[in-house]
Amino acid sequence: MAPLPVPLRDPAARRRATAALVALLLLWPLLVLAEFKPWQLFAGGNLQVMASFLAGFLPPATAPDFLALLWKATLETLAIATAGIALAFVVAVPLAAMATRALAVSRIGPGPGRATGAAIRTATRALLTVLRAIPEVVWALVFVRALGLGPGAGVLALAVTYGGMLGKVYTEILESGDTRSARALLEAGSPRLGALFYALVPSTAQELASYTVYRWECAVRASVVMGFVGAGGLGQLMDQSMKMLNGGEASTILLTFLALVIVADALSAVIRRVLA
């Protein structure tokens, strides 16, 4: 075979270079706007101020009566996060099944009812966006007024915001896997529910489970912030310790968080192995 007259040029090369350049050009003004000046960390005395602030956190508090409080608050946080995620799951699953294109029967062909189908999917996506656009701490502030101080408000706030987040990501996970199997079932007259559980869920179970556990981990952290507005758990305890300038107690609470995140990680690994 004769050699090619011109060296082979990758037709995608120029487009990729342009995209990278545009990304950099967009990023620069954003860094300026965000007052990103990391060198100030090292400017005169700043390090010392931070160090003395952090030194206040040592040693971690280990007083028995504080540990008893901590234990109760930890259980409360776990209960808030778990109940919140469970409710969010109940909100998210039907919405994701409605919003995902992978189960859109009317797109085959396209067949009857495609305009209605597209409208329902768009409306569901919009609803998911509204649910997750408002931060859980704002919902918590609203629900605390209705339900009073305590974990109940935190659970409801998580259910709303995390329902929106889970729903959006489930929708996309269901579309990102192999959707051919679902389509084949729909083409054999299967209802959407059948295609969801016989094709989409089996092919994306690992991703769905690992994202759900990750969200549970986020819910544990989110319950802290909500604790600051009176929604119970470790956050409320942390709020009290910080107000009393008790750094030792705060650091024990932070260590508890670390332990919870490690537990979530292990849980996720176990679930993924079971579903593998």
Partner 1 sequence: MNGLRLEGAGLVHPNGHRALKNVSLALGSGERVAVIGPSGAGKTTLVRVLGTSLRPSEGRLFIDDDDPWRLGAGALRRTRARIGVVHQSPPIPPRLRVVTAVLAGRLGSWPGWKALASLVVPSDAGGARAALDRLDLGDRVFDRCDRLSGGQLQRVGIARVLYQRPAFILADEPVSALDPSLADLSVGALVAESEATRGATLVASLHAVDLALKWFPRLIGMRAGEIVFDRPTAAVTTTMLHELYATEGRALPRQGVEPIDDAVRAANVVVLKRPGCQ
- Does residue 53 interact with partner 1 by CB under 8 A? no
* Residue 273 binds to partner 1 (criterion: CB under 8 A): no
Q: Does 115 bind partner 1 (CB under 8 A)?
A: no
Stretch that binds partner 1, among 47-55, 110-118, 129-137, 216-224 (CB under 8 A): 110-118
Distance CA 241, CA 220 (A): 18
Distances (CA, A) of 76 to 132, 160, 216, 240: 24, 19, 14, 16
Stretch that binds partner 1, among 136-144, 154-162, 190-198, 210-218 (CB under 8 A): 190-198
- Is 223 within 8 Å of 234 (Cβ atoms)? yes
Which tokens belong to 4?
A: 């090619």
Closest CA to 136 of 221, 250, 259: 221
Shortest CB 190 distance to partner 1, Å: 4
Residue 185 and residue 201 in contact, taking contact as beta carbons nearer than 8 Å: no
Contacts 24+ apart (CB under 8 A), 105-113: 105/186, 105/192, 108/183, 108/186, 108/187
Among 158, 199, 219, 234, which residue sits at the site for partner 1 (rule: CB under 8 A)?
A: 199
**With respect to partner 1, which residue has the nearer C-beta, 61 or 201?**
201
- CA-nearest of 166, 159, 129 to 226 is 159
Name the one range near partner 1 by CB under 8 A: 87-95, 105-113, 139-147, 161-169.
Answer: 105-113
If binding is defined by CB under 8 A, does position 113 make contact with partner 1? yes
- Contact with partner 1 (CB under 8 A) among 37, 110, 262, 269: 110
The nearest distance, CB 200 to partner 1, in angstroms, is: 8
